[in-house]
């Protein structure tokens, strides 16, 4: 399923997401000692993975003192302009489970693209509001999965975003995006807590509605790999 910590640093994401993101980064074949920026780094669990992969890591975190890894880390509010905070450009910028906490995803992606090298990549993730379970939750309760009032107040999930919106944002910012999703097994664990709820969801909603759904209906988290359009 995945771990809740990496080298003693807490992982603020669903199980296995960090591993899936690292697999996509490994496939990029970044240059040796590539410069990577981890935005919204938390305690530094994913920054440590990047460091262990031989990358040159910098980080940014909003809460002072939260980041525990011995690499450069700036205290930064990602709702504000931040593209001028570094003198050098990055080969990769990473923001795992950050987009849903921000007021303006377009502003954030634009800032990230400005601190990338021409050949650089931006990897961001966000809950998949188009998933089959999220649609069932909306039909039943009037809110998307991970975006009810308790998620707003408890986790700070303020902005649900759809994959088509990210594609549109990237087109308008002259960038290409590849969208993938986490495995679907975790979604199936989030059906009703008792056997009646599970039976009702599986027997009616899934059998009747799932074949009719379009879009990115599988996977709990969307992973966006974004690259500037070649001139």
Residue range 163-178, pLDDT digits in tens = 999 999 999 999 999 9
The pLDDT of residue 1? 40
CA 153 to chain centre: 19
Residue range 1-26, pLDDT digits in tens = 446 899 999 998 987 899 999 999 99
Which residues span the domain enclosing 68?
5-129+157-186+217-228
Q: 81: which DSSP letter? A: -
What share of the chain in percent tops pLDDT 90? 72
* Closest among 65, 20, 24, 19 to 41, alpha carbons compared: 65
The answer to whether position 58 is within a domain reads: yes
Mean per-residue pLDDT of the chain: 90
Task: Give the domain CATH number at 80.
Answer: 3.40.50.150
Residue range 24-52, pLDDT digits in tens = 999 999 998 999 999 999 999 999 999 99
Band of the pLDDT at 201, cuts 50, 70, 90? Answer: low
The answer to whether position 47 is within a domain reads: yes
What average pLDDT does range 62-89 have in this prediction? Answer: 95
pTM assigned to the model:
0.90
Residue range 112-126, pLDDT digits in tens = 999 999 999 999 999
The answer to whether position 208 is within a domain reads: no
Q: Alpha-carbon distance 32 to 19, whole Å?
A: 20
The answer to whether position 179 is within a domain reads: yes
pLDDT at 191 over 60: no
The answer to whether position 143 is within a domain reads: no
Question: How many folded domains does the chain comprise?
Answer: 1
What average pLDDT does range 76-84 have in this prediction? Answer: 97
The answer to whether position 171 is within a domain reads: yes
The answer to whether position 209 is within a domain reads: no
What average pLDDT does range 149-171 have in this prediction? Answer: 96
The pLDDT of residue 171? 97
What average pLDDT does range 130-141 have in this prediction? Answer: 88
Q: 169: which DSSP letter? A: H
The answer to whether position 138 is within a domain reads: no
Band of the pLDDT at 198, cuts 50, 70, 90? Answer: low
pLDDT at 139 over 90: no
pLDDT at 196 over 70: no
């Amino acid at each position: 399923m995945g771990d809740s910590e990496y080298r003693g640093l807490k992982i603020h994401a669903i199980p296995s997401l960090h591993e899936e993101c690292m697999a996509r980064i490994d496939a990029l074949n970044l240059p040796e000692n590539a410069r990577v920026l981890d935005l919204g780094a938390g305690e530094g669990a994913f920054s440590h993975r990047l460091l262990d992969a031989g990358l040159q890591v910098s980080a940014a975190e909003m809460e002072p003192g939260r980041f525990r890894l011995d690499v450069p880390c700036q205290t930064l509010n990602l709702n504000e302009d931040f593209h001028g905070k570094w003198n050098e450009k990055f080969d990769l910028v990473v923001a795992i489970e950050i987009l849903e906490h921000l007021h303006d995803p377009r502003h954030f992606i634009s800032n990230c693209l400005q601190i990338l090298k021409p050949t650089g990549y931006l990897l961001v993730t966000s809950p998949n509001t188009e998933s089959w379970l999220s649609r069932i939750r909306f039909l039943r309760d009037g809110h998307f999965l991970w975006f009810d009032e308790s998620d707003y107040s408890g986790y700070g999930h303020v902005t649900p975003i759809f994959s088509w919106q990210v594609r549109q944002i990237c087109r308008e910012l002259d960038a290409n995006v590849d969208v993938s999703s986490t495995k679907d097994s975790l979604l199936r664990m989030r059906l009703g807590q008792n056997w009646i709820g599970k039976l009702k969801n599986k027997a009616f909603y899934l059998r009747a509605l799932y074949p009719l759904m379009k879009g990115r209906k599988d996977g709990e988290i969307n992973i966006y790999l974004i690259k500037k359009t070649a001139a």
